[in-house]
Structure 1
């Protein structure tokens, strides 16, 4: 707007050369732009939003409605209203909703923060203002609630906002329908099986979000979704498409025609392989293949999706993984990385994925041949807080040196080791791991653990089906061991 105002000011110098009717229009636009500039200046001078915690005693609204809802900034209101595509009682994880906000273009960019970080800040504000509530507020182990071993589930508090989610029709239009036609004004819709069979998509061409939600254990039939495929061609501006639990065995062809798609959820589908034509979705940011147990390979041209930031593939047994996955330098989420033989994806592929965050599971570590390869697995991935090292159960294990070379960054909080049959790596007890709070050993064959005393924040040690272990902390004194066990939650389980 300011650039346009400067251009208009330049045009005013040409007033002697402009016709009268054009000069009047230019002057009117210049006054409007000047007013907008003053409005922007006044807005920036306002104090930042700081809402006090909710107090039921101080609320004067009826029906338990929150009086602050109408005072929220526009970007927070849009994110909150987006959640009305969920039915009352629907539960969700923080990260899933954050990625939906980012894919929907609802997050206001801030210098120095990624969109995901800013969206996470929005979410925390919603929780502090009680718009999102914990589904299980009473944890069975109060001492372990701070470990964040399993992310908590949340749900939206519908009773605080005086908007009917099924009849919403205002500035930022969205509808939450399950068995009816979608309004032609709708931008975000969550629909059910009955709506699909009735041509529910015909009236609306401006949809940005479609959720196909199952009821109970019901999955959509392929015939219904194939018929709906023709209707998907009418909503070419979709940003978010959720086809989870749909019973797909392959990627539908019509999905690859949605060129504006940012988020594609294919989780819980018996998909065996992805089509190479998925690279036409060049704007794709999130590809969710969680619990696609039949998936055996991903296309070798996946690296062409240069905007891909979140690749959720877990838990699957891949026989073929893209050897160019290391080129996806924008990746922030890669739940599982499978190491294959010499003709497949090597463990050094994620060497350049320095933006990875959260959780990472490295599978088939028996395919790592040398110590140098092991050291290139995850060099200084500062954002990885939960890491799993997995050897195949029926394969010969790598030697101790390779396990030593798999040392993660010292920011690690949760470590899990599966099917490891050798001397325990000594880096676990390194004092530099000051953030490590949980260690889990499953189906391992080891004789002794390294001393755990140097780990000040360690609170959980889970030992499941570990055979041959006869020494817990060999080099710890009795005082150090008793001090360690006093604040350590020890879960010891043997299989039969």
Structure 2
């Protein structure tokens, strides 16, 4: 399968970060008398494996499952090395915060660290030995494996295959006929892979070529260039390609950029041209500025159409006359027309009622992507066996080799840091709607956000998120309330993320097909979808001591903030939501009993946990203090969600979690106070205690100097302590729908605060 190639690209990105982390701990390790040569050996061994990852992505390896297995083995070794390095970084931080210097704590004895390094080196040796057996070679450099190069996918489009694009076609034709008086104008066509950008451009190009588009002054030169390959992004290569498409082969003796630009300028002199630049990925403003110089010699009214998945590319290539055309997903009705045409070979679908129902479910799975619809329809053409159609419905990803290359290109051109973040998104099941800050907090907990200049990690995460959204990996989904913005992933993009993450991620949802293995690092499930078959997999959790994520997702979503809800409706909405949520939990609990949940004592073996959502996994064991005590031993934990836990009355034990960054306590209806020891959470950045009966904030909260977000909305808090002014990094403070009437003047010392939610007419500022 084409996507066997994705593994190497992801691991290369992971190794890039790991090498930086190893370098950062080297001095600390040597000061603590650990054999520094072992660390050097580990780095060198991993460098050897890293050197062949390009070859593992090469075209000759794509269809070999044994190479896929090799990549999974290497990923497992890399993640063990990450866990070790993370352990050492935590120990270094512990020593920085105490009088203890130059020796490890009992858990980090020198011999133990050396033993772990040696074990990892042995594992790398085994992987390298397999590498040689597979014939993988160091130093092989590839661009796009030839099987998935975009140019090889372009076939002549049929007008009869296009549905639901009449408006877009009209917009493009009007653009071609317009004449603003400038030499040339640019129209970028933007959309996700497989949505039909190239098809529309082809149809327009063909109609112009055939004279079907009547113009006052016709185009003299018409040229089409596919620019998917990175090698075509420089000015020389791109100019040469345009010249040869417009004027025939170029003299091979011409090697200088200015010479080929002179040739193109001469070829365009006084002529009106139409240029299609298809599938543009990495032409930046500087390259484009140099590339367009010869166009100035052309006649007025020349046009350039650019197809791309990246709005940033559209922005860089646009000029004063540009009109960006964004292609949306097709409606289900239009998708059905396209599917019917090919699957039933122009026969009325009602003639096959047993197949029509299955066909509509297949179309629904394609979620508006015409390439996916057509691929599956062509596969089923003239096959009238119900069993075959049902097989496609159940295994549609396996049958979509035609669209996977298009999606793979989106992944291939991601920068390394985004590859890792995108792979983690496989934690979300299909159709799951998430909020931006929810995903950013999870990325942060997994160490996937790399510091940049003076930017805060939250800002880095927002930049990553916007970048992935602009590339159509995330789709905007508007919530029920005005201004409530949620996001989701197209099913095909979700499948890509799942494939990229491999065995490391397991989703326990209704479509669960994976198994919990020793390589599984991330597990998620939707709280109200915990069917009986999950029990056996959950029983094995205690044996997985490398687990990093144990996440229960609440598909009811979070309550929107006060600026998107009518305050008068809030009480009823809150009551109904909590009531429904509670009933669902009780029903599930009653169905599954206690054997389908996890004993809190099992948590002690999960020392690598970074993310834990605990509220629905521990019913039936009575003592919440036992749960909190177990959680309190998880020194790596950075994200803890105790939301909706009605049994928690106090939270003293978790204050031992010195590395915790995110603490969610929403709807903990028995929680009336925060502990004085909360300032032990010195790395806490996000605290959400909304919708709880908390009445008082301890003064020690002001010692959380890393806190960026504090949500106290819909609590019973009447007073804010003066120490709040010590939270100099606080960015967001939500006090909406609380009885607070006065806020201390120390709040004016919060220079980073840019979002303050209040909803109380009697609010006063204390001097």
Taking structure 2 as the reference length, the TM-score comes to 0.40
Q: Deviations over 1:346-403 (max 9, x none)?
A: 431211112222342163334x4xxxx7423454554332421448xxxxx6xxxx72
Q: Note the C-alpha offset of 1:132.
A: 0.5
Instruction: Tell me which residue corresponds to 1:326.
Output: 702
Instruction: Tell me which residue corresponds to 1:156.
Output: 489
Residue 624 of structure 2 corresponds to residue 250 of structure 1: yes
Q: For 2:283 and 2:461, how far apart are their aligned partners in 1?
A: 17
Q: For 2:609 and 2:757, how far apart are their aligned partners in 1?
A: 34
Q: For 2:551 and 2:282, how far apart are their aligned partners in 1?
A: 32
Q: Note the C-alpha offset of 1:299.
A: 1.0
Residue 602 of structure 2 corresponds to residue 231 of structure 1: yes
Q: Note the C-alpha offset of 1:262.
A: 0.3
- Structure 1 or 2: more helix by fraction: 2
Q: 1:175 to 1:304 in 2, by over 3 A?
A: same
Name the structure, 1 or 2, with higher relative contact order (CA <8 Å, separation 6+): 2
Residue 541 of structure 2 corresponds to residue 201 of structure 1: yes
Instruction: Tell me which residue corresponds to 2:208.
Output: none
Q: How does 1:312-461 map to 2 (within 5 A)?
A: 312-336=688-712, 346-361=720-735, 363-366=738-741, 368=742, 374-390=744-760, 403=764, 405=765
Q: Note the C-alpha offset of 1:122.
A: 0.7
Match of residue 429, structure 2, among 87, 90, 94 = 87
Instruction: Tell me which residue corresponds to 2:168.
Output: none
Q: 1:49 to 1:324 in 2, by over 3 A?
A: farther
Q: 1:380 to 1:299 in 2, by over 3 A?
A: closer
Q: Note the C-alpha offset of 1:62.
A: 2.7
CA contact (8 A) 1:351 1:378 kept: yes
Q: For 1:202 and 1:182, how far apart are their aligned partners in 2?
A: 11
Instruction: Tell me which residue corresponds to 2:643.
Output: 267
Q: 1:62 to 1:250 in 2, by over 3 A?
A: same
Aligned with 2:758: secondary structure?
Answer: strand
Note the residue ranges of structure 1 that are not aligned, 5 or more in a row.
Answer: 8-21, 40-45, 142-149, 392-396, 408-496
Greater C-alpha Rg: 2
Q: Deviations over 1:99-149 (max 9, x none)?
A: 100001111221211111111111001111111111239x997xxxxxxxx
Q: For 2:707 and 2:402, how far apart are their aligned partners in 1?
A: 47
Q: For 1:317 and 1:290, how far apart are their aligned partners in 2?
A: 10
Q: Note the C-alpha offset of 1:86.
A: 1.1
Instruction: Tell me which residue corresponds to 1:302.
Output: 678
Aligned with 2:624: secondary structure?
Answer: coil
Q: Note the C-alpha offset of 1:49.
A: 6.5
Instruction: Tell me which residue corresponds to 2:262.
Output: none
Aligned with 2:468: secondary structure?
Answer: helix
Note the residue ranges of structure 2 that are not aligned, 5 or more in a row.
Answer: 1-18, 27-36, 52-138, 140-232, 235-280, 285-307, 311-325, 328-368, 373-400, 557-580
Instruction: Tell me which residue corresponds to 1:418.
Output: none
Match of residue 402, structure 2, among 58, 62, 65 = 62
Q: Deviations over 1:446-491 (max 9, x none)?
A: xxxxxxxxxxxxxxxxxxxxxxxxxxxxxxxxxxxxxxxxxxxxxx
Aligned with 2:541: secondary structure?
Answer: coil
Taking structure 1 as the reference length, the TM-score comes to 0.60
CA contact (8 A) 2:505 2:522 kept: yes
Instruction: Tell me which residue corresponds to 2:468.
Output: 126
Aligned with 1:62: secondary structure?
Answer: coil
Residue 413 of structure 2 corresponds to residue 71 of structure 1: yes
CA contact (8 A) 1:214 1:245 kept: no
Q: How does 1:282-301 map to 2 (within 5 A)?
A: 282-301=658-677
Aligned with 1:257: secondary structure?
Answer: coil
CA contact (8 A) 1:360 1:386 kept: yes
Instruction: Tell me which residue corresponds to 2:166.
Output: none
Q: For 1:169 and 1:379, how far apart are their aligned partners in 2?
A: 48
Aligned with 1:88: secondary structure?
Answer: coil
Q: For 1:226 and 1:241, how far apart are their aligned partners in 2?
A: 14
CA contact (8 A) 1:183 1:203 kept: no
Instruction: Tell me which residue corresponds to 1:104.
Output: 446
CA contact (8 A) 1:165 1:176 kept: no
Q: Note the C-alpha offset of 1:155.
A: 0.6
CA contact (8 A) 2:732 2:756 kept: yes
CA contact (8 A) 2:660 2:681 kept: yes
Q: Note the C-alpha offset of 1:50.
A: 6.9
Q: For 2:688 and 2:521, how far apart are their aligned partners in 1?
A: 26
Aligned with 1:135: secondary structure?
Answer: strand
CA contact (8 A) 2:426 2:501 kept: no
Aligned with 1:210: secondary structure?
Answer: strand
Instruction: Tell me which residue corresponds to 2:121.
Output: none
Q: 1:227 to 1:207 in 2, by over 3 A?
A: closer
Q: 1:50 to 1:234 in 2, by over 3 A?
A: farther
